[in-house]
Amino acid sequence: EVQLVESGGGLVQPGGSLRLSCAASGSTFSNDWMRWIRQAPGKGLEWVANIKPDGSGQYYVDSVKGRFTISRDNAKNSLSLQMNSLRVEDTAVYYCMRGGGADWGKGTTVTVSS
């Protein structure tokens, strides 16, 4: 069974930065697309970013382009999301997801507020 564990969430002021991490175990991490998905309080799911298995390509939803960077370290089975210039509307639970959605983490909460 694949385990995904997110960390790094917290409270940050508008304009600030956070770095989220996702530790993966129990799978061939380096073979899988990895994704970040978020869910604002009481709202639906929103795709944030994808990264190819070898890290050679990254894809972002328009609302985070230029502010967020997805990366991975296949040697450490680790996925990251560097979030800069955070806005109030980035407040959400952030999930990492493997491949086509068979595995999700429990999420980490990001709150952007002054």
Q: Which stretch binds other proteins (CB under 8 A): 15-23, 68-76, 78-86, 101-109?
A: 101-109
d(Cα 106, Cα 80) in Å, to the nearest integer?
15
Angle at 11 between CA 48 and CA 73, to 5 degrees: 45
The number of residues that bind other proteins (CB under 8 A) is 18
CB of 61 to other proteins, least distance (A): 5
Write the interaction track for other proteins spanning residues 46-65; mark x where CB under 8 A is met and - where it is not.
xx--x--------x-xx---
C-alpha separations of 23 from 44, 59, 73, 75 in Å = 24, 20, 10, 11
d(Cα 64, Cα 86) in Å, to the nearest integer?
9
By CB under 8 A, residue 2 contacts other proteins: no
**Residue placing its CB nearer to other proteins in the complex, 29 or 94:** 94
